[in-house]
Amino acid sequence: MDQSFGDAERTMIAGLLTKRFGLPAATVSSLIERANTRVSDLVQYFPFTHNINQKMTPEEKTEFIEMLWRVAYADGVLDPHEDQLIRQIAGLIYVSDHDRMLARKRAPRSDS
């Protein structure tokens, strides 16, 4: 999200996918690589947010936003672009400001 996809963020994403979906390491690694390739061609968020809106409950959407906060904080620095992107995505998937902020508070920071 901050134009730098480092080891801390990659590790956080892998851990979240493994914990949330019970996926094996090889599958998680493959998904991350596919997503990384796809994001380089990304022009708009609509296809992704539309899919989230169609398939996730409000609680799952809030959990998703919390996962994004965890990834954003994984490298110990919240870049302003990361903050802006999470706010934007939360709005597009209809997560209220209140729920977005609660999700942010639940996401541990590596500097704390």
> What is the per-residue pLDDT for 43?
66
Q: Are 52 and 82 in contact (CB under 8 A)?
A: no
Concatenate the DSSP letters of all residues of 6-67 into one string. -HHHHHHHHHHHHHHH---HHHHHHHHHHHHHHHTT---SHHHHHHHHHH--HHHHHHHHHH
- Tell me the residue length of the chain: 112
Long-range contacts for 51-57 (Cβ within 8 Å, ≥24 apart)?
Answer: 52/93, 53/93, 53/94, 56/93
Domains of the chain, residue spans: 7-106
Q: Is 14 exposed, middle or buried (0-12, 13-18, 19+ CB in 10 A)?
A: middle
For each successive 10 residues of the chain (112 residues), what is the average pLDDT? 71 91 92 80 80 96 96 90 94 97 89 48
> What is the per-residue pLDDT for 112?
45
The answer to whether the pTM exceeds 0.85 is no
Q: Which CATH architecture has domain 7-106?
A: Orthogonal Bundle (1.10)
